[in-house]
Amino acid sequence: MAYQHTDATLALMKRSPVIPVMQVIDAADALAQTEALLAGGLSVLEITLRTPAALKSIEMLSRAFPEAAIGAGTVTNADQMEAAIDAGASFLVSPGMTRKLLRSARKSPVPFLPGIATATEAMTLYERGFRCMKFFPAEPAGGAKYLSSLSGPLPDLVFCPTGGIDIVKAKAYLELKNVACVGGSWMVAPALIKAGDYAAIEKLAREAAELRAA
């Protein structure tokens, strides 16, 4: 079976140990966050489609920083997928998967990282041609211990755990053989953004960039 975007998705996941999950307020905020994250050494960035500024920010950032991989997160339907691709997203991430979204995801021209929370969901996506998946919400769904238990029965799958992860927990996940990277928002916490403390964001990004997967 030819697995969907496996080589491209794995390369993307291995490019950085941490993928920041960004909520952007406006273009200026998106630019400031991105500059701080890139300065800290993180170059794979996920813009979650939870704010009105998300798609315009993906378009702007993709053009302004061609050296970075700017993706769209919280993709929950085919219309969002199409809009994100049109905006220039270089990869897509979903919190879960539906039948309708799966049909579109399999035709995606860019890597698609589908979300799973159980072994059954992972096996279903594996049957449909996906080897690389997002484990979400990681901490509430069982954490590193649960994800580690999947490596035995499902040795071909590679995960990016996201949800409730900080830098300490990230280290535990990155020690697992079935984890290529983690997603997190601790380095772009709302309090830091509200305070305009982009120097702190850069510092936290640098610490995250120094982590390594097993």
**pTM of the predicted protein model:** 0.95
Q: If you compute the radius of gyration of the chain from its CA atoms, what whole number of angstroms results?
A: 16
CA–CA dist 175, 71 (Å, integer) = 25
Tens digit of pLDDT for each residue in 151-194? 999 999 999 999 999 999 999 999 999 999 999 999 999 999 99
| 134 included as an active-site residue | yes
Residue from 14, 82, 134, 202 carrying the catalytic annotation: 134
Is 182 strand, coil or helix? strand
Which CATH fold topology does 6-203 show? TIM Barrel (3.20.20)
Residue 131 has which token pair? 């080897």
Q: Which of 14, 46, 82, 171 is catalytic?
A: 46
Q: What was the pLDDT predicted at 3? A: 72
Confidence of residue 212 (pLDDT cuts 50, 70, 90): confident
Model pLDDT for residues 28-61, shown as the tens digit of each residue: 999 999 999 999 999 999 999 999 999 999 999 9
- Two structure tokens written together for 203: 């510092």
Specify the pLDDT at position 2. 60
